[in-house]
Amino acid sequence: MNLANWLERAALLHPHAPALLRGTSVVADYAEFYRRSRAIAGAFRSQYGISAGDRVAIFMHNAPEYLEALYATLLLGAAIVPINAKLHPREAAWIVRDTAARLVVSSGQELGGLQAQLEAEQLPMLDATGGDWRALHDADPVGQPVRRGRDDIAWIFYTSGTTGRPKGVMQTHGNLQAASLAYFTDVDAAERADCALYAAPMSHGAGSYNFVFTLRAARHVVPASGGFDPAEIQNLAPRLRNVCMFAAPTMVRRMVSHARQTGFDGDGLKTIVYGGGPMYVADILDAVDVLGPRFVQIYGQAESPMTITALSRSRVADRDHPRWRERLASVGAPHACVEVKIADADGNELPRGETGEVLVSGATVMTGYWQNERATADAIRDGWLWTGDLGSMDVDGFVTLRDRSKDMIISGGSNIYPREVEEVLLAHPSVAQVSVVGRPDREWGEVVIAFVVLEPGHPEDDGALDLHCIANIARFKRPKQYVYLGDLPKNAYGKVLKTELRRLLEDDPPTGS
């Protein structure tokens, strides 16, 4: 079944239900949302030759048009490639080329930057917030959604890889349907009166949650700012009511601190799903105290979108269970549609309480990485997805994450692979060696720290290195601090000892406390 069937059904059953909103203004009801998507799909097909199996890249900030582009693509049986709007245009261009996307939907500064990178390709690019896009609303519409099988690709999500090159996670119609149904079973009872508020990037999990709300013919709201602004959310929530949103731990922290300043008690907010990075127990306790029992935690990764374990609203708010604190520090129990086990390096299940790698199997697990069989074979073995996360499971089935087997840094909910940053810094003429690690940080979860060994005679110059990073990678990946060393600590094989570097940072208290 095609995920776009859910939009068709919502439009037939609830044609006049408000569907797309910018702030509190309704942009389209469900009949109009479906009509526009079919018209845009018609234009994609007739003007750009898009058909089943093709890829359409979306590189833009949150906007109601995001969902129009998404459903237009799905209606044709093509797959979307949502690209994080915060990426450097060079990084976005790499993804567009890797998927051989035939069309790019973009807007504003993202469009200009990408056009410059892809000048030679002469790839068609549409500005979703301009007049040309609105003209597509009047194109000849397509009929019903093209039929799709469970394993047909719907969404290719690029995650940063340990090799420095991002990998395209192929999420199928079956994966995303299972993940959406898992929302109903383990996260929240979404209803038609609900309002999905997109404060986190729609290119990520927050965007893939749209299917849940489309199925229910609920409202999709993009804040006028197009992003995350605690003051704006506080203003919108009481007016919209039944607001459901995904928020990374950093966002939750900011919402709580803003609410505390203004006396906001969460009025109008129904559910805040948090995850994507570790949440400090003290912070979630604070959040429930200030904003009320509106929080549900999820643990997932692009390879099993938003769906590995969940900690329900009642468990997040619970203070009565004898082990409530441990549970609050956990990521919850497995979602209904997946099996989760903790395994040793050979894949053997470990006894409860022991730490090993978290393995997942089930309907939400990706079919593999786009045109990357080696990485796929490495990630999925004997039907199990190796998450790269280290954790343990208690006797009741609650999973607690301990560490990551990969080097990944999670800062403000965004993943950063040290290798990507290291490769960029190494290209700078004054850098002889570099090693990048994460340092715990109260506000961001972790921040990027670069240890640099300079070429002889070159001066320490944070500003120059910073400018070099800005020119080459997304701003959020830039080191927050540069530490200059005479040499990097290495083992007998010459491998840099990141544990030693992290130890050096321990002498320096975490920032932002």
Chain residues in the site for ligand AMP (CB under 6 A): 159, 275-278, 297, 299-302, 331, 387, 389, 401, 404, 410, 415
CB of 279 to ligand AMP, least distance (A): 6
Toward ligand AMP, which CB reaches closer, 318 or 407?
407
Distance CA 354, CA 350 (A): 6
Query: What count of residues does the chain have?
Result: 513
Toward ligand AMP, which CB reaches closer, 405 or 433?
405
CB of 266 to ligand AMP, least distance (A): 21
CA distances from 399 to 24, 51, 271, 352, 405 (A): 39, 42, 22, 10, 16
CB of 388 to ligand AMP, least distance (A): 6
CB of 497 to ligand AMP, least distance (A): 22
Toward ligand AMP, which CB reaches closer, 102 or 404?
404
Toward ligand AMP, which CB reaches closer, 64 or 438?
438
Toward ligand AMP, which CB reaches closer, 341 or 468?
341
In a 3-state reduction of DSSP, which class is residue 480? coil
Q: Under a CB-based contact definition with an 8 Å cutoff, are residues 232 and 238 in contact? A: no
Distance CA 434, CA 431 (A): 7
Q: In three state form, how does the secondary structure of 370-390 look?
A: CCCHHHHHHHEECCEEEEEEE
Instruction: Locate 423 and state its tokens.
Output: 């490769």
Toward ligand AMP, which CB reaches closer, 278 or 293?
278
CB of 165 to ligand AMP, least distance (A): 15
Instruction: Locate 92 and state its tokens.
Output: 């976005």
Toward ligand AMP, which CB reaches closer, 124 or 278?
278
CA distances from 114 to 90, 310, 472 (A): 7, 37, 13
Distance CA 1, CA 173 (A): 7
CB of 41 to ligand AMP, least distance (A): 28
CB of 385 to ligand AMP, least distance (A): 10
Toward ligand AMP, which CB reaches closer, 139 or 474?
474
Distance CA 312, CA 334 (A): 11
CA distances from 389 to 110, 111, 278, 320, 511 (A): 33, 35, 12, 29, 25
Toward ligand AMP, which CB reaches closer, 2 or 415?
415
Q: What is the DSSP string of 389-407?
A: EEEEE-TTS-EEEEEESS-
CB of 221 to ligand AMP, least distance (A): 23
Distance CA 167, CA 366 (A): 12
CB of 234 to ligand AMP, least distance (A): 24
Q: Under a CB-based contact definition with an 8 Å cutoff, are residues 62 and 226 in contact? A: yes
